[in-house]
Structure 1
Amino acid sequence: MTRAVETLPKAHLHLHFTGSMRTSTLLELAERHGIRLPATLSSQAMITLSPDARGWFRFQRLYDAARACVRTADDMRRIVLEAAADDAAEGSRWLELQVDPTSYAVHVGGITPALEVVLQAARDATALTGTQIAVVVAASRIRHPLDARTLARLAARHAGEGAGTVVGFGLSNDERRGETAEFAGAFDIARDAGLACVPHSGELLGPQHVETTLRTLRPDRLGHGVRSGEDPRVLERVVAAGIALEVCPTSNVSLGVYPDLPSVPLRELVSAGATVALGADDPLLFGPRLAAQYRSAREDHGFDDEGLAGLAKASISASRAPAATKAELHAAVDDWLASPAEVSERGTRGIAV
């Protein structure tokens, strides 16, 4: 007897703009703009890569090919609206969509217009779907740290509270590239503006990289951070500091960090006291969206409905949603848990957390 994970109210804190795209939308945009896609992007098959340089290179090549199909402001608005609709269908009530405006600036007149297109689209999508959409501006490790400072200043100018504003600043791309400490200045700018600091760390690299990120960037959350548990001392530090982990199980498996979903140390992290917010990362490339991550928690890690509700509440607490919104969503999770359970397709019950 279980409840549908799609109806569980939750926040979604780790979803990339291009990676949120529907496969059907990608194919339409490629045809419209006369772009030939790699065969892998034309199928619904989830990619599986090794975590080495060749594996990441293939992932980045596919991601870049998809991003090249986004050529107009209308394309950008469509992606935001569809991401909101897809999240709303899976119970996400608050979405922090991560975008690097640099990637689309050439098509819309600069990084400021690019961000403004996304922010207006977030406001429109919020009104249409009921899922509140905020934005995390993300710099890239493969660009110069001064570029990150420029983006941090842009994010700071659009910082706010609630849907249609910038609520966070991130650092994405291959963790093995760039010197983490060199991006500290950008995060100082973001922090001074009241933005959440949410760099990627602890997926391709282990706890030593997490420790470096904690020391130099002083994050509020870690994008992934799933490998923190490989060093109990580092995980204890993460837990003590209240730093949330944006764990994306399907991404971890697809990139070869873990061999399968049961191997992702989700229960170990939660049992150690970590705040875990499940995310889908790049469903365009990896396949499953947000609800599937909760389904995996149930089927692969033995979380019962109370445990799933705890994960949902953790995602809400770790978000930058306004306090009133958090209170409303926590109450909605309680209502979900109080609702009648139904017989699941698998006919099993999980283990209480």
Structure 2
Amino acid sequence: MTILVTGGAGFIGGNFVLDWLAGSDEPVVNLDKLSYAGNLQTLASLHGDDRHRFVHGDIGDSDLLDRLLAEHQPRAVIHFAAESHVDRSLHGPGDFIDTNIVGTFKLLEAVRGYWSGLPASDKAAFRLLHVSTDEVYGTLAADDAPFTEAHRYQPNSPYSASKAAADHLVRAWHHSYGLPVLTTHCSNNYGPYHFPEKLIPLVILNALAGKPLPVYGDGQQVRDWLYVTDHCAALRRVLDAGTPGETYNVGGGNEKTNLDVVRTICRLLDELRPRADGKGYAEQISHVQDRPGHDRRYAIDARKLARELGWQPAETFDSGIRKTVRWYLDNQDWAAGVSSGRYRDWLTQQYGDQP
């Protein structure tokens, strides 16, 4: 028994691989292109572990996909591989079209060919789990009910539009060909091994470096925060017991404004790693020009997942953000290793030439 994971050196995919092998001896074949956000240092603890086979490659490579599926005969494919940063999609949408749409199409076709040739019992048991995002649903007003699985798709960025297109392809391959697929839509993840362009790791690392803490606009954009290991547990549960063709929302039940998140991190750092000058980290907060078309609020209704599959998040935001801040304090070498010159150039492009 083996599973194939795409994008398993990224933030959520890497955490999923680590979480999977911490609780199971079922081997993982891990396919990742190692683009800017893919990081093998995340998987360093698996070096020499025969249960983990890393393959450097692209989901757009049909020949490679066919070889991996034929060689390893996985019982499931968990599809994380995606370009995932809204800001990057605004500056360069082409990569998002290529990876999220064309790459997903290539993966679906390879998996369909493999699945069609399986013995009847293996064919019935096979699953493809497509990991998507709440951003496909668009934005919510302050008093709107959270997104349910039936919410209309209204993507507002090249990133969310490309993920919405991938969702539709996955759905179509199920209804047209019978491919046993599962789709999840998660809210904003946070936790260990998060690439430092995203809000929480960016704020932690900038604070420690004495740099400004950039907050878009008024900072009142609301997100539902989900600790990454809670997300991994939800994905395992959906893979084990989800109904093929169904969609499941995964949320942490923690709606916070971006400014509240930044201030919470500042308070934790004041406690755990005080500034040498005795001042508070909140003094480093710097409001920057809002990004174009910035969605105001996301919120997930995860009651279907709780009701049908019995999943609930284990972490509150308070417990999860404390674990996250401590992890970054204890793993600054990891953060330094991924903060390459290419990444620093991106920060300058996005936020300006700040000291």
TM-score after normalising by structure 2: 0.31
Structure showing greater relative contact order (alpha-carbon pairs closer than 8 Å, 6 or more residues apart):
1
Larger Rg: 2
